[in-house]
């Protein structure tokens, strides 16, 4: 009897518990969580705002520092928060019915740049430039600057040899970071005063050997100076030319240390050094241009090595089925500069040479080259100008043969069947990032590397089905070096290199204002393809137009093929992110890129034309 009563009680309690679960809100049974994807705790934010990216329960109400935040159907959120100089405490609070979850994090942002008061005298040591040792020659200008107490007099000295060179306080101005996507972030809230600048032109009489740079600030009553670690030396006009050999293959050349790139130099190129800043050497590129190259990439030759000099006597133009070869015999390997001022034009400049050319011939059966011209631009610079009869160039290589003949190898347009444009075309797809290089992260913690690969694999299948020879820089979640990707595309003789990415922004920008589809190229030969792919994506994907950019990226710089980089959407814009992670929408993206590629190849296909021999009068 007692056992039966106990059983009834148990059944009644079970029934009451089930009834309770049915009548309470469903979300009250769920766990409430806040995951912050970006920024990391205690992050150093080099701007005075940033975006907080993360996720919570889709039905939760979220506030960040008491500001209401939109939560998207998948739980993701992105919210821009203004930051104060110093440590910022950020409080996130999610509410779901009667359940509340909080998360507190901190980020640090530097203080605004401000004007240093007139007194007491102070020099901002970190602001002093130059910050590296200098070796210059007669005629060069040394530029010195620093930030110090405003409304005073400033000077700099080069050891005891050149003392108290006056500096001028500059007009007040906002301090800005380096621009990103064409916009700079101010790091001062008001124009800053107290920036002093001065210059000194080195003379033939200067004989500076490891002289220290000293800066000084003087008021009516006091003065303060600072002896930097920078030392300055000069090259005597009587010193023989200093010659170096390039020991790295296609060594990086820049307009100035850390600045824009010029044409890389092949191994064995001889250059005349004219200066040094830190670990970078300056060298001559004719009379009007300098290049800068890393110490690691050169070998300084013994004193007395003659400066490189050659005469161009022959321009030999030959071709085969796929290439045109422009061969220029030289007695030494000289620095070169290659530029594409337009889609159909190319300029080759060779420095340290003189022209002795009377005539050269074309291959009459080859219509790829429309015209070749040469000119003596300066007393030691020869420029060779090329024009193609094609709609644009398709890629090129340049190298020195063992006999020091410079070869410019031009890729001819591929033979394209208008009915099957992809047949025989090798296309290299590069899914950006991979392995530990995750790229950007979206609100629900999906990484860019995953999305890039998913889109690339879908595009690969589409292109293969249309007859293309598709190669991939990666097909799994693996880390592949940037230059390994380029090398693979080159060795496989790809006609097109397409790097697939999805975008993010630096701190200080607003992903609700700055977002959309963007396309990147470096060489003018790739611009027609970039424009067509960009237009196709805008029509099909229908994200905002973020623009077409000239960009010096590792995956846009290859000149051997048409190289374009696509940023399809923004991982940190919830509207775009929520779409690019969907498989169906990824198919739309892949179809759009395939459509753009197919149209580009079609308009470059061989069309039957009347031959000259068929147009004779009867």
Q: What is the 8-class DSSP label of residue 172? A: P
Comparing CA positions, the residue from 537, 541, 511 lying closest to residue 442 is 511
Residue 42 in any domain: the answer is: yes
Residue 395 in any domain: the answer is: yes
Residue 610 in any domain: the answer is: no
Confidence grade of residue 31 (pLDDT, cut at 50, 70, 90):
confident
Confidence grade of residue 7 (pLDDT, cut at 50, 70, 90):
low
CATH code, domain with 247? 2.30.30.40
Mean pLDDT in the chain? 92
pLDDT of residue 23: 45
Q: Which of 276, 300, 324 is the last residue of a domain?
A: 300
Question: Are residues 253 and 227 part of one domain?
Answer: no
Residue of 93 and 3 predicted with greater confidence: 93
**Residues in the chain, overall count:** 618
Measured between alpha carbons, how far is 330 from 236 in angstroms, rounded to an integer? 30
pLDDT of residue 49: 94
603 Cα distance to chain centroid: 30
Structure tokens at 427: 């296309």
pLDDT digits (tens, 9 = 90+) for 234-290: 999 889 999 999 999 999 999 999 999 999 999 999 999 999 999 999 999 988 899
CATH code, domain with 384? 2.60.40.3500
E strand or H helix at 453, and its extent? helix 448-465
Tokens 């400049």 sit at which residue? 349
Question: Are residues 154 and 83 part of one domain?
Answer: no
* Count of other CB atoms within 10 angstroms of residue 165: 16
pLDDT of residue 232: 98
Comparing CA positions, the residue from 226, 222, 201 lying closest to residue 214 is 226
Question: Are residues 267 and 315 part of one domain?
Answer: no
Structure tokens at 60: 């939760």
Question: Are residues 536 and 582 part of one domain?
Answer: yes
pLDDT of residue 608: 46
Residue of 548 and 19 predicted with greater confidence: 548
Domain count within the chain: 6
pLDDT of residue 182: 65
Q: What mean pLDDT comes out for the span 359-388?
A: 88
Residue 613 in any domain: the answer is: no
pLDDT digits (tens, 9 = 90+) for 71-124: 999 999 999 999 999 999 999 999 999 999 999 999 999 988 999 999 999 999
Question: Are residues 544 and 456 part of one domain?
Answer: yes
pLDDT digits (tens, 9 = 90+) for 148-192: 999 999 999 999 999 999 999 999 999 887 766 667 677 888 999
Measured between alpha carbons, how far is 92 from 573 in angstroms, rounded to an integer? 19
Confidence grade of residue 359 (pLDDT, cut at 50, 70, 90):
confident
165 contacts 225 by C-beta, under 8 angstroms:
no
Instruction: Residue 15: give the domain boundaries.
Output: 1-30
174 DSSP β-pair partners: none
Question: Are residues 431 and 580 part of one domain?
Answer: yes
Residue 477 in any domain: the answer is: yes
Confidence grade of residue 30 (pLDDT, cut at 50, 70, 90):
low
pLDDT digits (tens, 9 = 90+) for 592-602: 999 999 999 99
CATH code, domain with 488? 3.40.630.40
pLDDT of residue 358: 87
Q: What mean pLDDT comes out for the span 317-326?
A: 93
pLDDT of residue 450: 98
382 Cα distance to chain centroid: 31
Structure tokens at 50: 């940033």
In percent, how much of the chain has pLDDT > 90? 86
Terminal CA-to-CA distance of the chain, rounded, Å? Answer: 124
72 contacts 81 by C-beta, under 8 angstroms:
no
pLDDT digits (tens, 9 = 90+) for 441-500: 999 999 999 999 999 999 999 999 999 999 999 999 999 999 999 999 999 999 999 999
Q: Which of 376, 411, 446 is the last residue of a domain?
A: 411
Question: Are residues 360 and 279 part of one domain?
Answer: no
User: For 475-484, 521-530, 592-601, 603-612, which range has the lowest pLDDT when averaged over its residues?
Assistant: 603-612
pLDDT of residue 615: 36
Residue 419 in any domain: the answer is: no
Residue of 24 and 542 predicted with greater confidence: 542
- Answer yes or no: is pLDDT of 3 > 70: no
Measured between alpha carbons, how far is 26 from 97 in angstroms, rounded to an integer? 10
| E-strand stretches of 423-538 | 426-431, 469-472, 496-503, 517-521
In percent, how much of the chain has pLDDT > 70? 92
Question: Are residues 487 and 406 part of one domain?
Answer: no
- Residue 336: CB partners within 8 Å, gap ≥ 6? 263, 265, 348, 349, 350, 351, 398, 406
Residue 520 in any domain: the answer is: yes
Measured between alpha carbons, how far is 267 from 153 in angstroms, rounded to an integer? 49
Question: Are residues 285 and 196 part of one domain?
Answer: no
pLDDT of residue 611: 42
Residue 418 in any domain: the answer is: no
Q: Which of 347, 382, 411 is the last residue of a domain?
A: 411
Measured between alpha carbons, how far is 413 from 561 in angstroms, rounded to an integer? 11
Question: Are residues 581 and 476 part of one domain?
Answer: yes
Question: Are residues 553 and 441 part of one domain?
Answer: yes
- Answer yes or no: is pLDDT of 545 > 80: yes
CATH code, domain with 53? 2.60.40.10
pLDDT of residue 367: 81
Comparing CA positions, the residue from 565, 293, 355 lying closest to residue 439 is 565
Measured between alpha carbons, how far is 301 from 486 in angstroms, rounded to an integer? 32
Comparing CA positions, the residue from 299, 315, 293 lying closest to residue 242 is 299
Question: Are residues 358 and 216 part of one domain?
Answer: no
pLDDT of residue 470: 98
Q: What mean pLDDT comes out for the span 4-18?
A: 51
Structure tokens at 101: 């979850």
């Amino acid at each position: 009897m007692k056992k039966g009563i106990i059983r009834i009680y148990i059944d009644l309690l079970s029934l009451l518990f089930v009834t309770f679960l049915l009548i309470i809100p469903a979300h009250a049974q769920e766990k409430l969580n806040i995951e912050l994807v970006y920024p990391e705790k205690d992050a150093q934010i080099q701007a005075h705002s940033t975006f907080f990216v993360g996720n919570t329960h889709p039905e939760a109400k979220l506030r960040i520092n008491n500001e209401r935040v939109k939560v998207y159907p998948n739980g993701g959120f992105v919210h821009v928060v203004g930051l104060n100089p110093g440590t910022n405490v950020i409080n996130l609070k999610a509410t779901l019915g009667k359940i509340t979850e909080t998360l507190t994090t901190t980020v640090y942002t530097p203080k605004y740049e401000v004007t240093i008061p007139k007194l007491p005298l102070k020099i901002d040591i970190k602001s002093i430039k130059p910050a590296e040792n200098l070796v210059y020659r007669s005629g060069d200008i040394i530029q010195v600057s620093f930030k110090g107490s405003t409304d005073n007099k400033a000077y700099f000295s080069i050891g005891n040899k050149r003392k108290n060179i006056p500096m001028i306080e500059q007009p007040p101005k906002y301090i800005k970071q380096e621009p990103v996507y064409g916009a700079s972030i101010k790091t001062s809230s008001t124009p800053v005063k107290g920036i002093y600048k001065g210059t000194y032109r080195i003379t033939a009489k200067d004989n500076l050997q490891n002289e220290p740079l000293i800066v000084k600030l003087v008021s009516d009553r006091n003065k303060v100076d600072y002896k930097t670690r920078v030392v300055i030396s000069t090259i005597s006009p009587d010193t023989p030319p200093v010659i170096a050999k390039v020991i790295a293959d296609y060594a990086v050349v820049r307009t100035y240390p850390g600045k824009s790139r010029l044409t890389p130099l092949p191994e064995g190129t001889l250059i005349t050094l004219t200066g040094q800043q830190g670990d970078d050497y300056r060298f001559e590129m004719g009379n009007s241009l300098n290049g800068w190259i890393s110490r690691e990439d050169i070998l300084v030759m013994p004193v007395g090595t003659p400066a490189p000099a050659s005469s161009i006597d022959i321009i030999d133009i030959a071709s085969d089925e796929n290439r045109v070869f422009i061969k220029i015999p030289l007695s030494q390997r000289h620095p070169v500069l290659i530029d594409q001022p337009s889609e159909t034009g190319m300029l080759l400049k060779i420095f340290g040479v003189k022209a002795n050319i009377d005539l050269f011939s074309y291959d009459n059966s080859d219509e790829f080259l429309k015209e070749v011209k040469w000119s003596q631009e300066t007393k030691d610079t020869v420029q060779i100008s090329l024009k193609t009869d094609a709609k644009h160039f398709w890629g090129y290589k340049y190298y020195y043969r063992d006999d020091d003949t410079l070869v410019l190898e031009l890729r001819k347009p591929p033979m394209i069947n208008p009915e099957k444009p992809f047949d025989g075309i090798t296309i290299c797809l590069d899914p950006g990032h991979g392995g530990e290089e995750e790229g950007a992260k979206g609100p629900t913690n999906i990484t860019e590397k995953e999305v890039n690969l998913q889109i690339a694999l879908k595009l690969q299948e589409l292109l293969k089905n249309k007859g293309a020879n598709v190669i991939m820089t990666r097909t799994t979640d693996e880390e592949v070096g940037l230059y390994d990707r380029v090398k693979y595309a080159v060795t496989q003789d790809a006609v097109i290199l397409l790097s697939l990415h999805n975008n993010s922004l630096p701190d200080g920008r607003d992903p609700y204002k700055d977002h959309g589809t963007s396309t990147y190229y470096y060489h003018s030969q790739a611009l027609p393809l970039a424009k067509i792919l960009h237009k196709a994506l805008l029509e099909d994907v229908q994200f905002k137009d973020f623009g077409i950019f000239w960009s010096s990226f590792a995956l846009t710089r290859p000149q051997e093929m048409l190289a374009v980089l696509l940023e399809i959407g923004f991982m940190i814009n919830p509207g775009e992110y929520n779409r690019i992670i969907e498989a169906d929408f990824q198919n739309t993206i892949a179809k759009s890129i395939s459509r753009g590629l197919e149209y580009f190849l079609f308009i470059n296909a061989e069309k039957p034309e009347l031959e000259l021999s068929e147009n004779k009068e009867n």
